[in-house]
A and B are shown apart, each in its own frame.
Chain A
Amino acid sequence: MTRQVENHVQIAKRSLDALLKAGADKAQVGLTVSERHEMNIETGELSLLRTTFNNSLHLTAIKQARLGQIGLNQFDSASVEKAVEDVMDIANGAKPDDGHDISEWQPSREFYRGPEKPDLDAMYDRMKSFIATVQQRHPRVVLRQIILSFTRSSSYLLNSNGVNFRTFKGIYHFSAMFSAQEGDKVSSFNGTGLAMKDLDRELIDCGTVDMLLKQSSEQIETYPVKGKFVGDVIVAPDCSNFLYGFLTGMLGDGAIISGTSVYKDKVGELIASPILSLHSRPVSEEIADGYFVTGDGYEAKDSTIVDQGVLKGLLLSLYGSRKTGKERAANGGGAFVVDPGDRSFSDLIKSVKRGVLMDRFSGGAPSKNGDFSGIAKNSYLIEDGEIKCPISESMISGNFVEAFKNITGISRERVDYGYAILPWVAVSGLTISGK
C-alpha cells in the first residue's frame, strides 16, 4: 500500500469511527480522489489544456431509522469533524424510514482497471491528427467542441458492517460536437462520446465518429417530411438513450417506489419483442468504463435486464428494495450491452417501406405512461428500402411501451462506445409528421 493510499484509507476509517462515536447506528463513508487532464478543441483549434484535482467525501449516518447525508471535498481534520457534526444534525432532523440501511458484510476487495498515468504527448498528437484528418476528409465540418481527457481516480467505500472496497481506475474519454456549413447554410449540430483504456487508435476511427462527421456534411441541405404518416424508425446506436433511457428510468427507485412505473408488476412478463436482450455489464472486460461497487455499498455484478423480450428484474437500490419488498438489482445500471440481431444494417434499411433513420432525438421528457414526441435530428427519410435524404422539422411521436413490443429488427453490427455496446434497432408503428 502506497503512503497516499494509506493516507486515504486512514481518512475514511477515521470518518467512519467518528460517525459511530457521534451516535450513528449505521454509517457509510465514500472517499474519492481524482486527477483529470483534459485537452479542448474550440472552433477547430486546440485551445485549452486543463489539469484538475478533486476530492470527495460522502458521509451517510443512520440513527433510529433517520437518514443524514453530507458531501464535501476537503479532507482536513477540522472539515471532517464539522461534517460529522452536521450529518448527525441532518439525520436527527429526518423523518424515520425503515427503508434506510447499509450493505451487509462482504469480503474486502480491491479493483484495478486502466492506466495509472496519462500520455500527454499521445493525447496532443491524437488531437492534432484528428483536426488534420477532419479538415482533409470533411472540409465543411466545423469542430465546435472536442474534448479528450484522462481521469485517474482512487475510490474507497467503507461501512460499519465491515464493508471495505477499493477501486483504482484510469480512463480516457473523448467527446465531439460538430456541425457543417457551406455558404449561409449550416447543419444541425451532432456529437458522440467514447471511453477508452488507451489511445492505440486514431480518434476519428473510433465508434461512429467518422460516420457522423460524414453525415454532418450531408445534412447541410435538409428537407422536411411531407404530411403525417405511421412508419418505421431505425434508431441508430448514438440515439439509443431514446429507447433505453425510458425503460431503465421506469425500473429504478423513483418510479417503482412512487408506483408510477408502467413496469412495476411486469417482472417475468414479455415487455418487448423477443428479439431484444438488454444487459447491464459494469464489471465485464468488454466495457472499458464500467464500475465495481454500487453507491449503496455492494460489489457490482453483471446482469440481464431484458432476456428475449422478458423483463428479468428491476433496477432497485437497497433502499428501493426494502421499500417495495422487491429484489435489489445486481448493479447500479448503465454499461448497457444489447445482443446483436440476425440482420445487417443494410437489410434493416431495405425492409422499410416508409420511415426514418434516426441518429439523434430532441424531445420533451416522456410521460410516465410512455407517450413521447420530439424532433428527429441528424436523421434521414427512408422510402422503398432506400435512404432518400436528410430531414429537418420532422416530429416523431408514439408510446415507448408499445414501441418496445414493436421492435422488428436488430442489426448484427454494433458500436463499442467503451461505456456501452449497441446496435441499430428498427421500431414500427411510430407517427412521423412534417410540414
Chain B
Amino acid sequence: MAVTDLREYSQLFHSYTELRVQENRFLRVTFVKGNNTTNSRSTTGGVSARVYEDGSWGFASSPEVSRDSIISVVKSATDNAEFLNTRQNRGKGPLPVVKACSERDFTTKKPRLRQKEIVDFVREIDDHIASKYPRLQSRTVALDCLDMEKTVLTSDGSLSHSMIPRAYLFFILSLEVDGKPVEIFKSCGGLGQFEDVFDSPSSVFPLIAAQYEHLERKAEGVHADAGVKTCILDAELAGILAHEAIGHTTEADIVMGGSVAARLMDKEVASPLITLVDFANSAQGRDCPVPVYVDDEGTEAKDTVIIDKGILKSFLHNKESAKHFGTEPTGNARAFQFSDEPLIRMRNTAILPGTSKLEDMIASVDDGYYLIRSSNGQADSTSEFMFGIGLGYEIKNGKLGRAIRDTTISGVAYDVLKTVSMVSDEMHWTGAGMCGKKQPIPVGMGGPAVKCRVSIGGR
C-alpha cells in the first residue's frame, strides 16, 4: 500500500470526520483431488471518508488514492451527511471525543516466498495425503491468506496505521460409505503472514493423521439422538459459543435493535463459572488471532468484560452507541474493505478457563455427547443460537463411545449458560472464520471446554 500521510487533509474536515486508506491483499491456492483449481492473488484498496452531522452519517469511497480523490471523497461524504441532515434533523448532538495513536505492523521479517514456493508447499501436503491415505474418496487442501493494512485519521486527532495478516490452511477429507460421502473439515494457522505461520509441510502431517483417524470413526458413526442432552463442548467449540450465542446479542447496535440482552444488564445471565471477555489485542500474555489496537473510528481498543462470573456487565460499543448508552466507546468499530463503513464487531471473544480437567468432565456424563468441532453458526436477537457440528462422539457411562454424523446443536444462550456446571482449565483460540454482518470480517474466538445442556438434532 502506498504510504500516505493523511494529516495534511485534516484541514478538509468541517464536521466529525474519519478518513481511511486501506488495502486488503488475498492469496488463495487450492488443490481438489490433486487438481490445482485455484491459484490466485487479489488486491482491493482505496480511500474512504465518513462524516457525522447531528445524527446523520455520510460515507463515500474511491479506489483511487490521490490528493484529488481524497479531496473528492471527503466532499462527497460531507455532502451525503448534509443531504440527510437537511431533510431530517435528528438532533443527536456531537459524538464522544477520543484521541488515540498507534503503529502496528505484523509484516514478516523473513524473505517473502514466491507463488511457486507456496504452491509447492500446498502441493506437498496434498501429495502426502494422497499417498498416505489411499482410501480417501476425495481431498481438498486450501491455503487462504489475508493482509489488512489501514491508515485512519479522524477529526478528533486520532492517527493509526496497522498491518494485520492471517494465514490458514484448510483440509477437507472424505470417505465413501455405502456409496455416500462422509467428510471431515479442519483448519490450522493464525496471525501472521505465510512465512511466519507455516514452517514446513511435514509440520501439519500429525494434524492430518489425527483428522483421518476421526474420519474413519465418523464413517462408522451413528446419528445423534434428537433431544435435549448433557454435552461437553470441547475447547475448540467454545469460541463459537462465545461469539455466536452471546457475543452478537451484546453488540450495542443489536441491543438497540431489540436484542433480549437489552433488559439483562447487571443481571445473572449465566453460571458463575462463566466469564466472557472481548479481548482487544492480547490475552494471557499472547497476541490474539485478530489484534485491534485503535479501531476504525480512532478509539483505543480495550478489553471488554461482557459477562463477569455470570453477571452481564457490558455491551460492545462504537462512538454513537456509547453516546446513546451514556458510556465509553470500547473500540469495536471495524470495517472490512476500504469501501465499507465501520460497524460494531467483535474482536477476540473468549470464555475464560476454569479449573476442571476435560477427562473428569467426560467421566461425569452418563448419557450425552462430546462435541468437538463446529461447521458454522448463527445467532438471534432472542439469544437462540445454532451451530453445525462436524465432529463429535457419544458419551456413555462416562466413556467416549461411537462417533456421530454431522448434526446441529441449539438452545437459548442465556438459558444454556445457566446450565454450565464445569469449565475446563485449557484454552483454545482460532481466527480462521469470518463473521458476517452486512460485511464479513475476521474475528478471533476462544475458550475452554464447558459442560452444559443443549438441544441436539438427529433422528
Which of A's residues lie within 8 Å of B, judged by CB? 42-43, 45-56, 58, 67-74, 86, 89-95, 97, 99, 120, 124, 128, 142, 144-145, 147, 179-181, 184, 186-189, 228, 253-254, 257-260, 262, 319, 323, 362-371, 373-375, 377, 392-393, 395, 397, 431, 433, 435
Contact = CB atoms under 8 A, between A and B. Distances in A.
Interface in B48-95: 48, 55-64, 76-77, 80-81, 83-84, 87-88, 90
A93 B117 contact: yes
Contacts, number: 262
Nearest to A397: B457
Given A49-B84, A95-B36, A72 B43 contact: yes
Contacts of B188: none
Size class of B's contact patch?
Answer: 35 or more
Contact of A323 (B35, B48, B81): B35
A346 B405 CA distance: 37
B181 interface: yes
A54 B73 CA distance: 13
Q: In this complex, which of A260, A392, A393 has the most chain B Cβ atoms within 10 angstroms of its Cβ? A: A260
A124 B87 contact: yes
A51 B457 contact: no
B432 interface: no
B35 A188 contact: no
Going nearest first, the 3 A-B pairs with the smallest beta carbon separation are A364-B388, A373-B457, A93-B116
B433 interface: no
Nearest to A50: B59
Contact of A74 (B63, B119, B339, B384): B63
B37 interface: yes
A179 B90 contact: no
B406 A260 contact: no
Contact of A49 (B57, B63, B119, B227): B57
Given A47-B57, A50-B341, A364-B376, A73 B258 contact: no
Contacts of B387: 364
A46 B35 contact: no
Contacts of A73: 43-46, 63
Given A86-B41, A90-B40, A50 B80 contact: yes
B275 interface: no
Interface of B: 26, 31-33, 35-46, 48, 55-64, 76-77, 80-81, 83-84, 87-88, 90, 114-120, 123, 137-138, 140, 174, 180-183, 223, 226-228, 253-254, 256-260, 263, 339, 341, 375-376, 378, 380-382, 384, 386-390, 405-408, 410-412, 438, 455, 457-459
A144 B380 CA distance: 12
B217 to A, nearest CB: 15
Nearest to B382: A188
Given A43-B253, A73-B46, A367-B406, 9 more contacts: A49-B80, A50-B60, A72-B44, A186-B260, A187-B258, A365-B376, A375-B410, A393-B412, A431-B459
A90 B113 CA distance: 12
Contact of A47 (B55, B116, B226, B382): B55
A53 B31 CA distance: 34
13 contacts: A48-B58, A48-B84, A49-B56, A71-B43, A95-B35, A189-B381, A257-B35, A362-B410, A363-B388, A365-B390, A368-B182, A368-B183, A373-B408
Contacts of A54: 46, 61, 63, 339
Contact of B181 (A92, A93, A368): A368
A393 B411 contact: yes
Nearest to A365: B375
Nearest to B113: A93
B259 A395 contact: no
A181 B183 CA distance: 41
Contacts of B56: 47-49
B115 A89 contact: yes
Nearest to B118: A93
A118 to B, nearest CB: 13
Given A54-B63, A368-B180, A99 B455 contact: no
Q: In this complex, which of B140, B341, B412, B455 has the most chain A Cβ atoms within 10 angstroms of its Cβ? A: B455
A73 B23 CA distance: 10
A174 B54 CA distance: 26
Contact of A433 (B44, B123, B227): B227
B117 A186 contact: no
B259 to A, nearest CB: 7
Contacts of B87: 124
A86 B115 CA distance: 9
Contacts of B60: 50-52
A72 B23 CA distance: 10
A128 B87 CA distance: 10
B339 A52 contact: yes
Given A49-B84, A71-B40, A368-B174, A43 B457 contact: no
A435 B55 CA distance: 45
B406 A364 contact: yes
Nearest to A39: B84
Contacts of A186: 258-260, 381-382
A45 B83 CA distance: 15
